[in-house]
Amino acid sequence: MSPDVPHDRASATGHDTPDSEAATRPHDDAEPAGRPRMTTLVALALSILVADLVTKIAAVEFIDPRDPVEIIGDTVTLTLVRNPGAAFSMATGMTWLLTLVAVAVVIGVIRMGRRLRSGWWALGLGLVLGSALGNLVDRLFRAPGFMQGHVVDFVSVGWWPVFNVADSSIVCGAILLVVLTLFGIEPNGTRYERDGKSGDAQKSETTQKSEAKQPGAETAE
C-alpha cells in the first residue's frame, strides 16, 4: 500500500500549490533599484542656482557692457549682455512664453524626482532644474518687468553666443539625459536591454524557468 503523496494529490485536485503559484505569478518588469535621489537632485539644483546668481550679480557689478574683460585675447571674454530670449540668445521676442516654459520644467522635474532612483538621472535633472531656476529668477525679477525680465549673460567664447552658468548647465544636463536614454538607463535605476525588458526582469525570468524545471517530490516506494 503506497502512502499518499501531497504533491500528486494537489495535482489531482487541480489546485496549485503555493510554490507553483509563486512561479506563475507575474513580476514587475522594472522594479525600482537603489535609494531615492530627490535629496541629491535638489542639492545639485540649489548649488547651480547659487553659482548662477552669484556670478550674475558679480557680472552686473564689475563688468562694463562697453568694455569687455579679456581672458584669452579676443577669443574668451567677459561681456555683459541682457538677453530677453532663451539660452544662447534664442527666441528673443518670446520672454513671457519662455517664463511659462521654465515654470513647467521646474514642476515637471520636481514631480519626476519623487520617484527617482538613478544617481546619473539625478545628476542630469539636477543640472536642468538648477539652470531653469537660475534663468527663471532673472525673468521674474529683473528689468523691464515681471515675467519680462532680461537674463544676464556674460561669458563669450569665440563665435558662440554669450551665455551664463545656467545656460551651460542645461546643455550639460540635456546631453547627459540623452546619453542615459540611449543606453537604456531608466530614472528608477533599472537598465533596459534591446528586447525591452530590464536586467532585473530578465534575471527574474531566468530564475522562474530554472525553478520550473526542477523535478517534483519523489514518490515514496
Show Cβ contacts of residue 152 under 8 Å, excluding neighbours closer than 6 positions.
56, 59, 60, 80, 81, 82, 83, 138, 142, 164
List the domain boundaries for the chain: 40-182
- Catalytic site residue from 52, 138, 167, 200: 167
Q: Is 167 a catalytic residue?
A: yes
Distances (CA, A) of 116 to 74, 109, 199: 43, 10, 18
- Residues 86 and 159 sit within 8 Å (Cβ to Cβ): no
Identify which of 144, 169, 200, 184 has the alpha carbon closest to the alpha carbon of residue 32. 200
Q: Is 8 a catalytic residue?
A: no
- Catalytic site residue from 16, 29, 74, 153: 153
State pLDDT tens for residues 166-197: 999 999 999 999 999 999 999 998 987 655 55
- Give the span between the Cα atoms of 148 and 84, in whole angstroms: 7
pTM: 0.72
The DSSP code sequence of 172-196 is HHHHHHHHHHHTTB-TTS-BB-TTS
- Give the span between the Cα atoms of 46 and 137, in whole angstroms: 13
State pLDDT tens for residues 66-106: 999 999 999 999 999 998 876 655 666 677 888 888 999 99
Range from 75-84, 145-154, 211-220 carrying the lowest mean pLDDT: 211-220
When pLDDT is averaged across residues 151-166 and rounded to a whole number, the result is 94
φ, ψ of residue 54 in degrees (nearest 5): -65, -45
